[in-house]
Amino acid sequence: MGKLLSSPKLLAIAIGVVAALLISVAGGALGASFGFGWFGGPIPFISLPAERVAYIGSYPLLNTTVMFWFGGLILIFLAWRATRKMSDVPSGLQNLFEVIYEFFGNTVDGVAGGKAKAGRRFLALVSTIFLVVVIINWVGILPGVGSVGRIETIEEWVHHHLPKVEAKVQEKHPEYTPVQIEAAALVHLLEDHGEDTFVAFDGSIVPLGRGEQARVPLNKIITFSESGLHQIEEAIHDGDDLDGLPLLDSIHSDIKKGVVQGEFVYKGQDFKGKTVGLLVPFLRGASTDINTTLAIALVAMFTVQVWGIRALGVRAYGGKFFVNPISQGPIATFVGILEGFGELTRTLSFTFRLFGNMFAGEVLLIAMAFLLPLIGIIPFMGLELFVGLIQGYIFAMLTLVFGVMAVASHGDHDTHAGDH
Q: Which residues pair with 3 in a beta bridge?
A: none
Q: Which of 54, 167, 179, 337 binds another protein (CB under 8 A)?
A: 54
Tell me how crowded residue 165 is: count the other CB atoms within 10 A of its CB.
Answer: 22
The Cα 127–Cα 133 span in angstroms is 10
Q: Which is nearer to another protein, 15 or 337 (CB)?
A: 15
Q: Which helix (H) or strand (E) is 26 found in, with range?
A: helix 8-27
CA dihedral of residues 30, 34, 35, 40 (deg, nearest 10): 10
To another protein, the closest distance from the beta carbon of 163 in angstroms equals: 12
Instruction: Say which residues have a Cβ less than 8 Å from residue 208's Cβ, sequence separation at least 6.
Output: 40, 41, 42, 147, 199, 279
Q: Which stretch binds another protein (CB under 8 A): 3-11, 22-30, 85-93, 265-273?
A: 3-11
- Crossing angle for the helix pair 378-407 and 120-139, to the nearest 10 degrees: 160
CA dihedral of residues 206, 209, 212, 216 (deg, nearest 10): 90
To another protein, the closest distance from the beta carbon of 371 in angstroms equals: 18
Instruction: Indicate whether 1 belongs to the interface with another protein (CB under 8 A).
Output: no
To another protein, the closest distance from the beta carbon of 345 in angstroms equals: 10
Q: Which is nearer to another protein, 337 or 390 (CB)?
A: 390
Q: Which is nearer to another protein, 298 or 331 (CB)?
A: 298
Instruction: Indicate whether 271 belongs to the interface with another protein (CB under 8 A).
Output: no
**DSSP states of 119-184 as a string?**
THHHHHHHHHHHHHHHHHHHHTTSTTTTTSEEEEEHHHHHHHHHHHHHHHHHHH-TT--HHHHHHH
Instruction: Indicate whether 75 belongs to the interface with another protein (CB under 8 A).
Output: no
Q: Which is nearer to another protein, 14 or 332 (CB)?
A: 14
Instruction: Indicate whether 201 belongs to the interface with another protein (CB under 8 A).
Output: no
The Cα 123–Cα 104 span in angstroms is 7
Q: Which is nearer to another protein, 242 or 288 (CB)?
A: 288
Instruction: Indicate whether 251 belongs to the interface with another protein (CB under 8 A).
Output: no
**DSSP states of 306-369 as a string?**
HHHHHHHHHHHHHHHHS--HHHH-HHHHHHHHHHHHHHHHHHHHHHHHHHHHHHHHHHHHHHHH
The Cα 204–Cα 108 span in angstroms is 53
Residues 4-43 that bind another protein (CB under 8 A): 4, 7, 9-10, 12-14, 17
Q: Cα-atom radius of gyration of the chain, to the nearest Å?
A: 29
To another protein, the closest distance from the beta carbon of 299 in angstroms equals: 18
The Cα 49–Cα 310 span in angstroms is 37
Instruction: Indicate whether 366 belongs to the interface with another protein (CB under 8 A).
Output: no
Q: Which is nearer to another protein, 186 or 290 (CB)?
A: 290
Q: Which is nearer to another protein, 371 or 387 (CB)?
A: 387
136 in Cβ contact with 286 (< 8 Å): yes
Q: Which of 36, 266, 321, 352 binds another protein (CB under 8 A)?
A: 352
Q: Which stretch binds another protein (CB under 8 A): 52-60, 127-135, 266-274, 310-318?
A: 52-60
Of the candidates 157, 152, 148, the one whose C-alpha atom is nearest the C-alpha of residue 67 is 148
Instruction: Indicate whether 393 belongs to the interface with another protein (CB under 8 A).
Output: yes
Q: Which of 156, 259, 353, 415 binds another protein (CB under 8 A)?
A: 353
Q: Which is nearer to another protein, 82 or 394 (CB)?
A: 394
Q: Which stretch binds another protein (CB under 8 A): 219-227, 253-261, 310-318, 357-365?
A: 357-365
Q: Which is nearer to another protein, 74 or 309 (CB)?
A: 74
Q: Exposed, middle or buried, 226 (CB in 10 Å: 0-12/13-18/19+)? A: exposed
The Cα 339–Cα 307 span in angstroms is 16
Q: How many residues bind another protein, per CB under 8 A?
A: 50
* Stretch 299-338: interaction string toward another protein, x if CB under 8 A: ----------------------------------------
Q: Which residues make up the interface to another protein (CB under 8 A)?
A: 4, 7, 9-10, 12-14, 17, 46-48, 53-55, 63, 66, 70, 74, 107, 110, 142-145, 148, 150, 192, 204-205, 207, 282-283, 349, 352-353, 355-357, 359-360, 363, 390, 393-394, 397-398, 401, 417-418, 420
